[in-house]
């Protein structure tokens, strides 16, 4: 086990009340595994990644729970200690390659800065490593392009530079927050291919945060579905797509137009919209949009229960016992 998140709750204290952006979530990531967290805007997936990295900004703070990386408690460390791990053993790629690179500094300076901060090597060696990394992520003529400024590169290239920077110290865990959302499909295919290759090459684990179920199905080994700060379903990628259990996951999968579907039928719709985080419905957060909502759902919160290795938070599966899942 590489990373363990236990009962993590992250709160934002606002004037109008407290928002639990992440509400009591637990999961683990093993070495070399790609775990995807999917959810719509406001589901708490990005706050989860920022909590792990210790990059939360006020008014956000971790109110309870543990984050253990190789048995070291990340959430109890000082910023100083964290800085030694961040960019080194754990690194992150952000959604916007346009805004997460420094516009007034050359590519090589930015990558070398990270390498020199974590490794005891000379400037010359750091430059050689930078060029090697740029080559690994598929930047043509890396020695020349290393002198470029970010604005001289396209979106796909910048995302490659971000990836090169994140991988420059051989991290054991890479957090990729919507790495392909700002990119075109043909470039997205290139970047996903790259992530996959890098995982094979460096045996790193990846926490992939995305809203795109297509990307999840292509890239992930295991999937967590989040809704309103809660984990509503967790399973390995094959069983999640073959047999989604939670009504929210089922609805999401049905509401996407499929490329190999030739019918002109109306799309399935999940009614309503995500509730206001300050006025959560009592009971299950999805109850007011759910087609199979029962009376009980509006009063109590279902527990996350495990059935044949597939976790789901829904009363529909309350009476189902271990081993009976396939009968449904």
Q: Which stretch binds other proteins (CB under 8 A): 49-57, 126-134, 196-204, 247-255?
A: 247-255
Residues 6-25 that bind other proteins (CB under 8 A): none
> One symbol per residue from 55 to 84: x for binding other proteins (CB under 8 A), - otherwise; what is it?
------------------------------
Smaller CB distance to other proteins: residue 72 or 141?
A: 141
Per the DSSP assignment, residues forming a β-bridge with 91 are 174
Per the DSSP assignment, residues forming a β-bridge with 209 are 37, 177
What are the phi and psi torsion angles at 169 (to 5°)? Answer: -110, 25
Smaller CB distance to other proteins: residue 217 or 298?
A: 217
Among 32, 65, 214, 281, binds other proteins (CB under 8 A): 214
Among 83, 106, 211, 243, binds other proteins (CB under 8 A): 211
Residues 21-50 that bind other proteins (CB under 8 A): 40-41
Peptide bond into 275 cis (omega under 30): no
d(CA 204, CA 263): 42
Among 164, 176, 237, 312, binds other proteins (CB under 8 A): 237
Q: How far is the CB of 253 from other proteins (least distance, A)?
A: 7
Kindly write down the DSSP assignment for every residue of 136-157, as one continuous string: HTT-SSHHHHTT--GGGS-HHH
Q: Which stretch binds other proteins (CB under 8 A): 5-13, 76-84, 155-163, 296-304?
A: 155-163
> One symbol per residue from 134 to 153: x for binding other proteins (CB under 8 A), - otherwise; what is it?
------x-------------
Q: Is 300 helix (H, G, I), strand (E, B) or coil?
A: coil
Q: Does 247 bind other proteins (CB under 8 A)?
A: no
Smaller CB distance to other proteins: residue 132 or 268?
A: 268
Residues 274-293 that bind other proteins (CB under 8 A): 274
3: its two tokens: 């990373």
Q: Which stretch binds other proteins (CB under 8 A): 82-90, 107-115, 250-258, 316-324?
A: 250-258
Of 60, 2, 47, give the one whose Cα is nearest residue 27: 2
Q: Report the helix count and the strand count for the chain, using DSSP H and E.
A: 10, 12
Q: Is 109 helix (H, G, I), strand (E, B) or coil?
A: helix
Long-range contacts of 289-297 (CB under 8 A, 24+ apart): 289/248, 289/251, 290/247, 290/248, 291/247, 291/251, 292/247, 292/316
Strand order through the sheet with 17-29: 17-29, 3-14, 60-69, 72-73
Under 8 Å between Cβ of 52 and 74: yes
Under 8 Å between Cβ of 114 and 106: no
Q: Which stretch binds other proteins (CB under 8 A): 84-92, 101-109, 115-123, 185-193?
A: 185-193
Residues 251-270 that bind other proteins (CB under 8 A): 251-253, 255-262, 266-270
Which residues of the chain form contacts with other proteins (CB under 8 A)? 40-41, 140, 154-157, 184-190, 192-193, 211-215, 217-218, 237-238, 241-242, 251-253, 255-262, 266-270, 273-274
């Amino acid at each position: 086990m590489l990373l363990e998140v236990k009962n993590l709750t992250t709160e934002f204290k606002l004037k109008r009340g407290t928002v639990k952006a992440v509400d009591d979530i637990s999961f683990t990531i093993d070495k070399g595994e790609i775990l995807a967290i999917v959810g719509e805007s406001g589901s708490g997936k990005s706050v989860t990644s920022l909590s792990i990295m210790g990059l939360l900004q006020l008014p956000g703070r971790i109110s309870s729970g543990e984050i253990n990386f190789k048995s070291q408690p990340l959430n109890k460390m000082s910023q100083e200690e964290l800085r030694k791990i961040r960019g080194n053993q754990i690194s992150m790629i952000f959604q916007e390659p346009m805004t997460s690179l420094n516009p007034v500094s050359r590519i090589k300076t930015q990558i070398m800065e990270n390498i020199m901060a974590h490794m005891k090597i000379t400037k010359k060696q750091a430059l050689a490593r930078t060029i090697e990394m740029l080559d690994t992520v598929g930047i043509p003529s890396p020695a020349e392009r290393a002198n470029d400024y970010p604005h001289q590169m396209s979106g796909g290239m910048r995302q490659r530079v971000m990836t090169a920077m994140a991988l420059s110290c051989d991290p054991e865990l890479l957090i990729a927050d919507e790495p392909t959302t700002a990119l075109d499909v043909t470039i997205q295919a290139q970047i996903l291919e790259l992530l996959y290759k890098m995982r094979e090459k460096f045996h790193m684990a990846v926490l992939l945060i995305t809203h795109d179920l297509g990307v999840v199905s292509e890239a992930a080994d295991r999937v967590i579905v989040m809704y309103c700060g809660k984990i509503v379903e967790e399973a390995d990628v094959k069983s999640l797509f073959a047999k989604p259990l939670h009504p929210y996951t089922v609805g999401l999968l049905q509401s996407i137009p499929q490329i190999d579907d030739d019918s002109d039928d109306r799309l399935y719709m999940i009614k309503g919209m995500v509730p206001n985080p300050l006025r959560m419905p009592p009971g299950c957060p999805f109850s007011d949009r759910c087609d199979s909502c029962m009376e009980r759902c509006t009063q109590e919160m279902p527990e996350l229960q495990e059935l044949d290795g597939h976790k789901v938070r829904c009363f529909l599966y309350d009476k189902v016992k271990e081993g009976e899942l396939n009968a449904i």
